Amino acid sequence: MADLDLALSLLQNKVRRQILERLVREPHYPMQLAELIGVSQQAIKKHLKELEKGNFVTKMKVPSEKGGPPRTIYTVQEAISIRIDLGPDLFNCEQRKLPAGGPMRLSRKLPEATHGVAEVVSGRKRISVSEGVAYLAELNQVIEQLDGQRDALISLHQHIRNRISQGVDSDFEQYEERAMIHTIIEAPEKRLDLNMLSKELQLGQRQVSELLEEVRVKLQRQISEKAGHIIVTPENSNLYWWLGDYKKSS
């Protein structure tokens, strides 16, 4: 699978997207693509070469219909999903490889509403157009519902981050402190990577550790004020697991 930066670079070109739109339907020859898209065959071959480098397409030789030398035909190889969420207090850009396997193998990951379709099509090598269209329409409806739920979750996530950001701006004066807090906010379920933060802020490990201590004290004070009582712990207590065992990094 191509890395995210390469995938975005390849897909930003409209002609390449048009090529992929046709290849997902059926394999095509370069000459076919050139005629359909309206660009030169030389340009199509150049784009196909780039897509092949990124593992988006693959080529194979097939016998010529007129008895000549074998011809090169292209088809799509990758099955991926690229998601971009962008807005105030919101940025997420990720690439996910779609799961492989037949309907029954996928059933444990599928929504319950789609289990009936998975059972009906499981093990079948051919599905008629009229029957398949009905199944796809049903799946499209479920996908639309799931996308709507995801959009609502993203909006709620964005709303909470926006409210947190207002406090961050007022409670943390240093840019480096705010950068650390935003790193925590972006992935609160993960431990803070001090090495990555050190590179991002262009600070030494000792400076990052001192910065982390300042942030830790302020966060403890916030929790104490909200709870209405004083927090007393040993100096090396790791109250917030997402801050990591920063003492070892100093």
Contact 22, 44 (CB under 8 A): no
* Residue boundaries of the structural domains of the chain: 4-78, 81-156, 180-249
Q: Chain centroid to CA 184: how far?
A: 19
What CA–CA distance (Å, rounded) separates 132 from 127? Answer: 6
DSSP states of 158-184 as a string? HHHHHHHHHHHHHH--SHHHHHHHHHH
Question: Which residue type occupies 96?
Answer: R
CA angle 94, 169, 229 (to 5 degrees): 105
Per-residue pLDDT tens digits of the chain, which is 250 residues long? 668 999 999 999 999 999 999 999 999 999 999 999 999 999 999 999 999 999 999 999 998 877 778 889 999 988 999 999 999 888 999 999 998 878 888 888 899 999 999 999 998 889 999 999 999 999 999 999 999 999 999 999 999 988 888 888 888 888 888 888 888 888 888 888 888 888 888 888 888 888 888 888 888 777 777 666 655 555 555 545 444 444 444 3
Contact 193, 205 (CB under 8 A): no
Q: Measuring CA to CA, how many Å separate 115 from each of 111, 125, 140, 175, 208?
A: 7, 18, 14, 50, 50
- Let me know if 23 is exposed, middle or buried by CB neighbors in 10 A (0-12, 13-18, 19+): buried
In this predicted structure, what is the pLDDT of residue 210? 86
What CA–CA distance (Å, rounded) separates 46 from 13? Answer: 12
Task: Label the pairing between strands 90-97 and 71-76.
Answer: unpaired
Region of 234 (left: φ > 0; alpha: ψ -120 to 50; beta: rest) is: beta
Instruction: For residue 82, list its beta bridge partners.
Output: 95
User: Residue ranges of the alpha helices (H) in the chain?
Assistant: 4-11, 14-23, 30-37, 41-53, 103-106, 115-121, 129-171, 175-186, 194-201, 205-227
Residue 188 parent element (H or E): none
CATH architecture of the domain with residue range 4-78: Orthogonal Bundle (1.10)
What CA–CA distance (Å, rounded) separates 138 from 143? Answer: 9
Question: Which residue type occupies 43?
Answer: A
In this predicted structure, what is the pLDDT of residue 27? 95
What CA–CA distance (Å, rounded) separates 75 from 60? Answer: 8
In this predicted structure, what is the pLDDT of residue 140? 97
